Amino acid sequence: MSDTLRPETNEQLLDAVKWATTEKKPLEILATGSKRAFGRPMQTAATLDMSKLSQIKVYEPAELFMTAEAGASMSDVTKALEEAGQHLSFEPPDLGPLLGGDVGQGSIGGVVATNIAGPRRIKEGAARDHVLGFHAVSGRGEEFKSGGTVVKNVTGFDLSKLMAGSFGTLAVMSEVTVKTLPAPEKTRTILISWKADGIYDHAAMSAMAQALGSPHDVSAAAHLPAMAAKKSAVDYVSGANGAITALRLEGPEPSVKHRAASLAEELKGFGAVEELHTKNSKTFWREVRDVQVFVGRDDLPVVWRLSVPPMSGAHTAIELLEDLHGEVIYDWGGGLIWLGLSSVESDANDEFIRSTVAKVGGHATLVRAPSELRSSVPVFQPLSAAEQLVTEKINEGFDPNGVLNPGRMYQGI
């Protein structure tokens, strides 16, 4: 059993990393551990538990930012935001349940480190677009910061982008500043129900492209094939008896009402059109955000996340499902494919999936798989030789002894 270091102050955090650096003891960084199974399994000497560095330090709704210690729980963050009528507009998913854990875990540091984003990604960006600044301790055992608390800032290299999605391999963030925005007053969802038989994925991509190219300011566009739609907790969706495509509209009530009517009219040529109001909409989009359809599914042990050009979504997924046994759902107007596979092949079909994605341009991440598989198959998109070299050099600049989450993303990095 390895040691756990649980710093309660920044000084203790600095000491912990200095110790790891001098003693060359690799650390696994976590807070609630909700996404611990996301990434390559690691061999570490100790765990750096950030859960005691959990204060929300500054939250100024009128200034549209929050500064929180990295271990601040997402439930605390969400609660504070809700009380002020705000939210994180990139809609961070709760991936805990998908990865076999409990609902409502996760920390703000983990959200940033994994650069995740929900259905609103297409309009508002991902975690990377909302990190305004951070303080961290590098693998050199040095404190440093980047960015600030303001949205408009081009002072020096944008290290916040590098930190977002680096899975703790570069530095341990002690605190992060994220952009906060007013939450929409009302939400409506336009549902297109496709006929019970047949595959409508291609037509769905066109419907979503039309909606996203319209002036109605659509904030999310997802397509659920019949198998996935059937599992929704929203009656209109599960009862549709076929595939559904969903388009979300948000904003002040008169605006949402007006746009919903216009969009429904424009899309009725595709199929029967229904409308969900705020409550049902929220339930539905939370299901999409958290990939609810694959939660607790022992019959789908392997889950991939594919990012492709939106209009290539259906083509890519259908090509994959011709040879693989599994299910998909589409988010981001077709640009995000969640692919659940029903059998555990020794290579998780890695090469086939990645070469299929490569045809249209994009990347594939193995999000859920038994740990042996995550050791033997590249979890993150393999890099070109040039990217690999730059990535190695960047990592060396932050963590030369490889003591922070070593190998979490790539072997030897």
Footprint on residues 352-381 left by other proteins (CB under 8 A): 361-365, 380-381
Indicate which single residue of 280, 307, 349, 405 sits in contact with other proteins (rule: CB under 8 A). 307
Rounded distance between C-alpha atoms, residue 41 and residue 69, angstroms:
26
Give the phi and the psi of residue 346 in degrees, each rounded to 5: -65, -20
Q: How far is the CB of 323 from other proteins (least distance, A)?
A: 22
Contacting other proteins within 56-115 (CB under 8 A): 60-64, 85, 115
E-assigned strands of 110-217? 131-138, 143-147, 171-179, 181-182, 186-193
Q: How far is the CB of 238 from other proteins (least distance, A)?
A: 29
Per-position x/- string for 210-239, each x denoting binding to other proteins as judged by CB under 8 A, each - no binding: --xxxxxx----------------------
Q: How far is the CB of 359 from other proteins (least distance, A)?
A: 12
Rounded distance between C-alpha atoms, residue 346 and residue 368, angstroms:
14
Q: How far is the CB of 1 from other proteins (least distance, A)?
A: 10
Indicate which single residue of 75, 153, 278, 342 sits in contact with other proteins (rule: CB under 8 A). 153
E-assigned strands of 295-388? 302-307, 326-331, 336-341, 363-368
Residues sharing a CB contact under 8 Å with residue 77, sequence separation 6 or more, in sequence order: 56, 66, 68, 88, 108
Rounded distance between C-alpha atoms, residue 410 and residue 413, angstroms:
5
117 versus 226: smaller Cβ distance to other proteins:
117
Considering the rule CB under 8 A, would residue 265 count as an interface residue with other proteins?
no
E-assigned strands of 85-139? 86-87, 131-138
Indicate which single residue of 18, 186, 282, 286 sits in contact with other proteins (rule: CB under 8 A). 18
Residues in the chain: 413
- Of 307, 303, 317, the closest CA to residue 379 belongs to 303
Considering the rule CB under 8 A, would residue 6 count as an interface residue with other proteins?
yes
120 versus 240: smaller Cβ distance to other proteins:
120
Q: DSSP string covering 319-341, please?
A: HHHHHS-EEEEEEGGGTEEEEEE
Indicate which single residue of 45, 80, 158, 375 sits in contact with other proteins (rule: CB under 8 A). 158
Considering the rule CB under 8 A, would residue 42 count as an interface residue with other proteins?
no
Residues touching other proteins, count (CB under 8 A):
105
Indicate which single residue of 45, 76, 185, 266 sits in contact with other proteins (rule: CB under 8 A). 185
